Amino acid sequence: MDPSPLGNYVIISRINKKKLYVLDNELPPKPAQDAANEDWEYYQSHIDDNEQVTCVMLASMSPELQRQHETMNAKEMFLHLQELFGAQSRVERFETVRALFQCRMAPGTFVEIHVLQMIGYIEKLGQLGYDLNLELSIDLVLQSLTSSFSQFIMNFHMNKKEMSLAELLNMLKTAEGCLKKESSSVLVVGSSSSQNKGKTLKKKNKNKNKKASAKVAKPTAGVKKKNDKGTYFHQGIFGHFGRGTAKLILLA
């Protein structure tokens, strides 16, 4: 049970708005026996509405509070509850407002969990008698999201579509699913690219090794061609014989 009976009362009383006048108006005096039918109908209607609101208020209280208020009518009960819990309600409202405005979606958190928490704060303020405007409530939810929802927020404002908080939550859940699919696709593409790049590098290195092993080092010195001609030295003169001839060729 809510620690504030007044908060519980406000929840139920919002469903019975046509009967809330009994909280502001005193019970009318009982008409005379010969009074007009309209007077009797008004009186009986007020009595019936008062009894219904009183029963609803008592049902939202703890047993101890019920004993304290069982002899009071709806208006008397309402005034007494304000005296008992007015200060407590003020503190509770402050704490709820602070939690709502400081609420931020943590990275890795499911959007459903985050938005439901914010809706809980918004509804609690309503229970305390302070209803937030729907547009303000939606703005508070949108500004609390992570940067990954920036495109969703832009599209939301461009379309200017009116919706409830429940409808907004469903749209955010759909957007979250799309974001996860896009993220998975990027990871798969990135992994494939890395694998292909690795295979290409391995292939290039293999080709380089093959080319290096196929090359033969050319000698630059130390190897001389065989001389086909015979060298001759006679009387201080160098010369040689040509192959197949006995002719002496003098070397200058």
Q: Which residue ranges make up each domain of the chain?
A: 1-85, 103-185
Alpha-carbon distances of 156 from 101, 138, 151, 161, 185, rounded to whole Å:
21, 11, 9, 7, 25
Q: Any residues with CB less than 8 A from the CB of 52 and at least 6 apart, and which? A: 16, 19
Tell me the pTM.
0.49
Whether 119 shows a pLDDT value over 90: the answer reads yes
Among 47-61, 76-90, 131-145, 198-212, which is the least confidently predicted range? 198-212
Among 18-32, 43-57, 214-228, which is the least confidently predicted range? 214-228
Among 41-45, 48-52, 233-237, which is the least confidently predicted range? 233-237
Tokens representing 12 are 């139920």
Among 14-18, 98-102, 216-220, which is the least confidently predicted range? 216-220
Confidence of residue 194 (pLDDT cuts 50, 70, 90): low
Stretch 37-62: mean pLDDT, rounded? Answer: 90
Burial class (CB in 10 A: 0-12, 13-18, 19+), 22: buried
Burial class (CB in 10 A: 0-12, 13-18, 19+), 54: buried
Q: What's phi and psi for 33, nearest 5 deg?
A: -60, -35
227-251 pLDDT per residue, tens: 545 555 555 555 555 554 444 444 4
Confidence of residue 141 (pLDDT cuts 50, 70, 90): very high
- pLDDT at 244 (0 to 100): 47
Residue type, 205: N
Contact (CB, 8 A) for 93 and 10: no
- Measured on CA atoms in the order 21, 27, 28, 32, is the torsion positive or negative? positive
Among 42-46, 82-86, 162-166, 216-220, which is the least confidently predicted range? 216-220
Q: What's phi and psi for 153, nearest 5 deg?
A: -65, -40
Of 50, 43, 47, 42, which is closest to residue 16 (Cα–Cα)? 50
* Average pLDDT across the chain, whole number: 77
- pLDDT at 250 (0 to 100): 46
- pLDDT at 198 (0 to 100): 59
Higher pLDDT pick, 11 / 67: 67
Among 106-120, 192-206, 220-234, the range of highest mean pLDDT? 106-120
Whether 163 shows a pLDDT value over 60: the answer reads yes
Whether 42 shows a pLDDT value over 90: the answer reads yes
